[in-house]
Amino acid sequence: MLHKYRWYEYVLIYAGLAVFLTFVLAPFVEAFVVSMRPLTSLFSIPYRFITDKMSFDAYFTMWENVPLLWMYMLNSFFIATAVTVLGLICIIPAAYAFARFEFPARNSLLGIFIAVNMFSGAVLIIPLFKLMQQYGLLNTYFAMIAPGTAFVIPTGIWLLRSYLVRIPKELEEAAWVDGAGKIYTLWRVIIPVALPGIVVVTITAFITAYAQQFIFALTFNSVNELNPLPVGLFQFFGRQNVVWNELMAASLVGILPVLFVYVFLQRYIVAGLTAGAVKE
Amino acid sequence: MGELQLRDVRKSYGQMEVIKGVNLDVDHGEFIVFVGPSGCGKSTLLRMIAGLEEITGGDITIEKKVVNDLPPVKRGIAMVFQSYALYPHMSVYENIAFPLRVERLAKDKVEEKVQAAAEILQLTERLQHKPGELSGGQRQRVAIGRAIVRAPSVFLFDEPLSNLDAALRAEMRVELAKLHSDLDATMIYVTHDQVEAMTMADRIVVLDQGVISQVGSPLELYHKPRNVFVAGFIGNPKMNFIEVTGKTADANGVTVTLPSGADITVKVATKTDVAGKPLTLGIRPEHLTLGTAEATIEVVPNVVEHLGIHTVTYSTVDGAKATFCSVLPGSAPAKVGKPVSMGLNGADCHLFNETGQAFERQLSLEDLDAADMHI
């Protein structure tokens, strides 16, 4: 398609982008600026973005004030990773089955999966709590990982299924003719070809898991050492005052793993990985 | 060895029957081509032989073993797909080695077989490349390579050349024919391109709406089509059909009356009484001549194509079922709008009854072969 934008169309497009980016990025900028300011000048009136004595001190003192901070970050990362890995183990075969096999109630099952997704985790917190209590699973990593996994699976299946149905059927037929079984085909042919789709699912699952762990940790866990970052951040809320600058510094550092995962994985979302498979 | 039998093979999807009882015997080493218009069931039939489609009825026998319920790999077949179906993440080497890896063959054996296949297909230089870096013809050769490493008794090709451009297709046609003689294997080849069918086949199977319309050598189908469908399908441009009325029948053939009132005697064998019956006369465009002949038809060309070697005219004629086409020598003085009289000879004509079945022509195929030899 050959289409050249006019100058005012460019202006409109960039203006629109600027508005959205401002909304998305402003909190981060604010968090960063707050983390740099000394606590005393945080509530200056009138409000000022730049104040005297700005420094990175908070990034060092936060580790001393909350000694377990690194543990919380590690927990967060561990829980999100575990949820993602376990989720993928369920999502990949399930999505493949939904994409390729004919079986009774296939479409209604898919419908149920999306319907389950409409419940927010919060609605099920109390029944889940009772369950965990019954089986003595409270205050374990498992209590935070299992529900998280259950919630990333439906979206994952939907995402990956729509990617898998677009993979040419001939690839599987060729493998079948060559004597490969279903599992072998899935492992050696489908998964490598579907890698970009799987990466998208991985990122979504990881981010979802990272975001949703707060509610599960808050309810199912009271052991400080097992807490993920969002719960751990409460330690910055003192009796008299909130250590805002350190809180913001810790939050920003806590985001880094997600950012890291994203940057690392997005290299694999390359167009044209299927190039040459079949003639389009 | 690679013999194949189809016995009353059927396939239905729900109420719709797409393959309606196909019987076919294929000898070892034969090159069989399935042709037919789209939707005639030729690909379905091939996929049934491959084991990719279940068969609803009948038996498929490969090497004297009924294979109806066997998976493809146990049938001793290999298949080449229209879309190549190469694994994009694997190198050419791994693509060709894939069936051997599945078998868990020892490494040195794999190496040996892949190298041998690459040699035959001139892919040795390309073994470390990914399919995405290859041209269409090379990709198709990789797909063929993947088929030949298994040394199957029957090769199945599903329109393997239809994605290639014309020049490459002609080249690959020759390569496939050579491969067939080198490998001494049975090949079954599906195409809608009759040039491929005519040039490569030992025998052609013409399919029409799920039944075999005719099986025969390319020249047999050309010279002795059994019905109107085969007559119209084989040959390019298509055979012209003219509505005629039967007059008399004797040892010389059947005499019919053309719409113009002229009589012509077609050299066919007949026992039935044809007098007064509506029949269809078939004449191939390349058998029409300019000027005097046993009978003539006046036509006014609508379109004239000058191809240098030939001049092709298209006209509308009374009694003809579609556009009346003629292939004349390149020097023919044909012009749009200028009436021409086309001559036809009884010996070149085909004759079909009301149900579209052909009267057998008084022509022996051995004579045709002999004639070819002399040329």
Q: Is residue A75 part of a domain?
A: yes
| Of residues B74, B45, B60, the one with CA closest to residue B150 | B74
- pLDDT grade for A117, boundaries at 50, 70 and 90: confident
- A193 touching B (Cβ < 8 Å): yes
- pLDDT grade for A277, boundaries at 50, 70 and 90: very low
Residue B117 has pLDDT above 50, yes or no: yes
Q: Are A127 and A31 in a shared domain?
A: no
> B280 is written with which tokens?
């269809």
Q: How would DSSP label each residue in B263-308?
A: EEEE-B---S--TT-EEEEEE-GGG-EES-SSEEEEE-EEEEEE-S
Nearest chain B residue to A177, by CA = B72
Question: Smallest Cβ distance to A274: which of B88, B99, B146?
Answer: B88
Four-residue CA torsion sign, B326, B331, B333, B335:
positive
pLDDT at A264: 78
Contact, A22 vs A30, CB < 8 A?
A: no
* Mean pLDDT value across chain A: 85
Pairwise CA distance, residues B136 & A102, whole Å? 33
Q: Are A43 and A85 in a shared domain?
A: no
Q: What CATH number should be reported for the domain holding residue A132?
A: 1.10.3720.10
Q: Is residue A182 part of a domain?
A: yes
Q: Are A138 and A164 in a shared domain?
A: yes
Four-residue CA torsion sign, A200, A202, A208, A211:
negative
Our CA angle for B346, B349, B355, nearest 5°, is 125
Q: Are A103 and A222 in a shared domain?
A: yes
- What are the phi and psi torsion angles at A46 (to 5°)? -65, 160
ipTM: 0.83
pLDDT at B98: 94
Percentage of chain B exceeding pLDDT 70: 97
Pairwise CA distance, residues A106 & B76, whole Å? 34
Percentage of chain A exceeding pLDDT 70: 92
pLDDT at A199: 86
> A90 is written with which tokens?
């369920």
Q: Are A174 and A224 in a shared domain?
A: yes
Q: Are A38 and A72 in a shared domain?
A: no
pTM, full prediction: 0.81
- The full set of domains in chain B, from first to last, is 4-227 (3.40.50.300), 229-374 (2.40.50.100)
pLDDT at B156: 94
Residue A67 has pLDDT above 90, yes or no: no
Nearest chain A residue to B72, by CA = A177
| Of residues B116, B107, B127, B98, the one with CA closest to residue B183 | B116
- B81 touching A (Cβ < 8 Å): yes
Q: Are A202 and A143 in a shared domain?
A: yes
Q: Is residue A273 part of a domain?
A: no
Q: Is residue A23 part of a domain?
A: yes
Question: Smallest Cβ distance to A177: which of B79, B86, B87?
Answer: B79
Contact, A196 vs A274, CB < 8 A?
A: no
Q: Are A166 and A229 in a shared domain?
A: yes
Ranges of H-type helices in A135-243: 141-164, 169-177, 182-185, 191-193, 195-220, 229-232
Q: Letter for the amino acid at B315?
A: S
> B234 is written with which tokens?
């084989």
**Per-residue pLDDT reduced to its tens digit, A195-254:** 888 888 888 898 888 888 888 888 898 888 888 988 888 888 877 788 888 889 988 988
Question: Smallest Cβ distance to A177: which of B50, B133, B163?
Answer: B50
Q: What is the dihedral of CA A16, A20, A22, A26, to 10 degrees?
A: 180
pLDDT at B369: 59
Residue A6 has pLDDT above 80, yes or no: yes
Contact, A156 vs A198, CB < 8 A?
A: no
Percentage of chain A exceeding pLDDT 90: 29
Pairwise CA distance, residues A171 & A186, whole Å? 11
**Per-residue pLDDT reduced to its tens digit, B188-200:** 999 988 888 998 9
Q: Are A213 and A262 in a shared domain?
A: yes
Distance to chain B for A70, nearest Cα, Å = 40
Q: Letter for the amino acid at B8?
A: D
pLDDT at A95: 94
- pLDDT grade for A1, boundaries at 50, 70 and 90: low
Q: Is B92 exposed, middle or buried (0-12, 13-18, 19+ CB in 10 A)?
A: buried
Residue B80 has pLDDT above 90, yes or no: yes
pLDDT at B375: 39
Q: From chain B, pick out residues whose CB is under 8 angstroms from the CB of A279.
A: 82-84, 136, 139, 163
Q: Are A157 and A258 in a shared domain?
A: yes
Question: Smallest Cβ distance to A193: which of B88, B99, B136?
Answer: B88
Q: Which helix (H) or strand (E) holds B359?
A: none
- B185 touching A (Cβ < 8 Å): no
Contact, B266 vs B351, CB < 8 A?
A: yes
Four-residue CA torsion sign, B350, B355, B356, B358:
negative
| Of residues A170, A172, A174, the one with CA closest to residue A182 | A172
- Measure CA of the first residue to CA of the last residue in chain B; give whole Å: 36
- pLDDT grade for A268, boundaries at 50, 70 and 90: low
Contact A273 B89 (CB under 8 A): yes
Q: Are A51 and A74 in a shared domain?
A: no
Q: Which of residues 84-123 of B touch A (CB under 8 A)?
A: 84-90, 98-99, 102-103
| Of residues A165, A163, A234, A143, the one with CA closest to residue A204 | A163
Distance to chain B for A177, nearest Cα, Å = 5
- B130 touching A (Cβ < 8 Å): yes
**Per-residue pLDDT reduced to its tens digit, A8-38:** 999 999 999 999 999 999 999 988 888 888 8
Residue B254 has pLDDT above 50, yes or no: yes
pLDDT at B31: 94
Contact A171 B85 (CB under 8 A): yes
Residue B367 has pLDDT above 70, yes or no: no
Q: Is residue A271 part of a domain?
A: no
- B73 touching A (Cβ < 8 Å): yes
Task: Say which residue, A276 or B52, is predicted with more confidence.
Answer: B52
Q: How would DSSP label each residue in B198-239?
A: HHH-SEEEEEETTEEEEEE-HHHHHHS-SBHHHHHHSSSSPP
Q: Is residue A92 part of a domain?
A: yes
- A199 touching B (Cβ < 8 Å): no
Question: Smallest Cβ distance to A180: which of B102, B133, B150?
Answer: B102
Count: domains in chain A: 2
Q: Is residue A272 part of a domain?
A: no
Average pLDDT over residues B194-218: 92
Q: Which of residues 161-190 of A touch B (CB under 8 A)?
A: 168, 170-171, 173-180, 184, 188-189
| Of residues A121, A113, A120, A104, the one with CA closest to residue A162 | A113
Q: Which residue of B47, B67, B70, B89 is the best one to mutate when testing the A interface, meaning the one whose CB has the most A CBs within 10 A?
A: B89
**Whole domain around residue A191: which residue ranges?**
68-266
- Chains A and B form CB pairs within 8 A to the count of 89
Q: From chain B, pick out residues whose CB is under 8 angstroms from the CB of A275.
A: 88, 131-132
Q: Are A77 and A146 in a shared domain?
A: yes
Q: From chain B, pick out residues whose CB is under 8 angstroms from the CB of A276.
A: 86, 88, 130-134, 139
Contact, B122 vs B144, CB < 8 A?
A: no
**Per-residue pLDDT reduced to its tens digit, B267-305:** 888 767 788 889 999 999 999 988 778 888 888 899 999
pLDDT at A274: 44
Average pLDDT over residues B224-253: 89
* Mean pLDDT value across chain B: 89
Pairwise CA distance, residues B164 & B190, whole Å? 15
**Per-residue pLDDT reduced to its tens digit, B144-170:** 999 999 889 899 999 988 888 888 888
